[in-house]
Amino acid sequence: VSISEIGERGLIEKIMNQFSVMPGMPVPFWDDISAVSLGDGRAVILKTDMLVWMTDVPKGMTYEQAARKCVIMNFSDLACKGVQPQAFLAAIGLPKVTTVDTVEEICKGFEKGVREYDAYMIGGDTNEACDIILSGMAYGLVDERRILKRGGARPGDILCTTGFFGETSAAFKILLDDFEASRGLRDLLLKSVYIPRAKVKEGMVLSKSGAVTSCIDSSDGLAISLHDLCRSSNIGFKLNNIPVSENAEKFATKHELDPKKLALYGGEEYELVFTVKLSMIQEAKKALSEVGCKLLEIGVVQKEKRITYVEDTVEKPVKLFGWDHFQSN
């Protein structure tokens, strides 16, 4: 059986079964990040995520942007736990024919990415490989009680996001399927893919607010993120407001696409998707507004373990569908 037959999620289950679990881990095994308790109330937070040129770098993206994105991918997972990244390491695989200029551009991208978030590049390793492989590792330190969890959503909580969705879906349609868009719209949409942002400040203020019951980043797409939250918290969601970006809406209108589907079934958006206690929604809004972010209420948590949204008075399911590394083409 090949891994493309069982997919990334099936594979991760197989992988998890092979390991004995460290006692006393503050966060479950194979969550968005790994945590090790320091025994004094603090925990070390670690995350590793790999960017592979062939599969993860769309056309038009520069080396600098790709390396910066490798930082963002890793920092976004710290962000959704409410953790400030402090340091970054990279193991770099390079074909022998790579130019020194290319490596310098890659390093500039790493440096840019880490310094945007007040972190530092503290080490790494270079190797020969068949393709450019940027394997990143993020480090942060956090008060153990402040780590945002995946599994704490309760019926009645409000489902929220830090931003709108659908721009990366539209951008990938432009990049991979040659969809057209006006120059201005095209640039805005591509920017979402080339220069993403990790919501680090947003995650930190949400963590401090004490209002958040569960949180995840949306790097696998909104739909998959919602399904992951549901599975971890053993609940469901009723969406009443799918957060479609205005630019994605314009793109959808032009191409007669369903804007809700662009928003649900995309990926690499790095927004935070989280649930808030009904009684504390004002605290969460206030916390986010202090870092210039508008909280978007998109639904409610329900006991029934399904995820639905209403369209033309018909209730429709949010499918478990999005990016899979091994089943995509």
Q: Interacting stretch for a second copy, rule CB under 8 A, among 93-101, 235-243, 250-258, 268-276?
A: 93-101
Of 71, 78, 89, 206, which one interacts with a second copy (CB under 8 A)? 89
Cβ proximity to a second copy: between 48 and 308 the closer is: 48
The radius of gyration of the chain's CA atoms, rounded to the nearest angstrom, is 20
Q: Interacting stretch for a second copy, rule CB under 8 A, among 103-111, 166-174, 240-248, 264-272?
A: 103-111
Q: How far is the CB of 95 from a second copy (least distance, A)?
A: 9
Residues 126 and 139: their CA atoms lie apart, in Å, by 19
Residues 107 and 118: their CA atoms lie apart, in Å, by 16
Of 62, 91, 179, 232, which one interacts with a second copy (CB under 8 A)? 91
Report if residue 151 touches a second copy, rule: CB under 8 A: no
SS3 90: strand
Q: How far is the CB of 70 from a second copy (least distance, A)?
A: 11
Report if residue 36 touches a second copy, rule: CB under 8 A: yes
Do residues 211 and 274 touch, judged by C-beta distance below 8 A?
A: no
Of 76, 84, 135, 233, which one interacts with a second copy (CB under 8 A)? 135
Report if residue 133 touches a second copy, rule: CB under 8 A: yes
Of 58, 129, 156, 254, which one interacts with a second copy (CB under 8 A)? 129
Of 62, 108, 208, 308, which one interacts with a second copy (CB under 8 A)? 108
Q: Tell me the per-residue interface mask from 43 to 82 with a second copy, x by CB under 8 A, - otherwise.
A: -x-xxxxx-x-xxx--------------------------
Report if residue 313 touches a second copy, rule: CB under 8 A: no
Residue 322, number of CB atoms within 10 A of its CB: 20
Q: How far is the CB of 280 from a second copy (least distance, A)?
A: 30
Q: Element (H or E) spanning 161, and its range? A: strand 158-161
Strands 307-311 and 42-52: unpaired
How far apart, in Å, are the Cα atoms of 323 and each of 220, 262, 265, 297, 320?
6, 13, 8, 24, 10
Cβ proximity to a second copy: between 162 and 219 the closer is: 219
Nearest to 218 by CA among 265, 285, 277: 265
Q: Which two tokens stand for residue 8?
A: 């990334």
Kindly list the strands in the beta sheet with 314-317, ordered across the sheet, starting from the edge strand earlier in the chain. Answer: 212-217, 272-276, 158-161, 296-302, 236-239, 307-311, 314-317
Q: How far is the CB of 203 from a second copy (least distance, A)?
A: 18
Among residue numbers 233 through 292, which ones bind a second copy (CB under 8 A)?
Answer: none
Can you give the three-state secondary structure of 171-220, one letter per residue? HHHHHHHCCCCCHHHHHHHHHHHHCCCCCHHHHHHHHHHCCEEEEEECCC
Of 60, 123, 155, 317, which one interacts with a second copy (CB under 8 A)? 123
Of 59, 100, 313, 314, which one interacts with a second copy (CB under 8 A)? 100
Of 186, 208, 254, 325, which one interacts with a second copy (CB under 8 A)? 325
Of 29, 176, 294, 319, which one interacts with a second copy (CB under 8 A)? 29
Cβ proximity to a second copy: between 78 and 284 the closer is: 78
**Lookup result for tokens 């220069």:** 195
Give the orientation angle of helix 246-255 with respect to helix 183-194, to 10 degrees. Answer: 120
Residue 128, number of CB atoms within 10 A of its CB: 9
Of 115, 145, 305, 306, which one interacts with a second copy (CB under 8 A)? 115
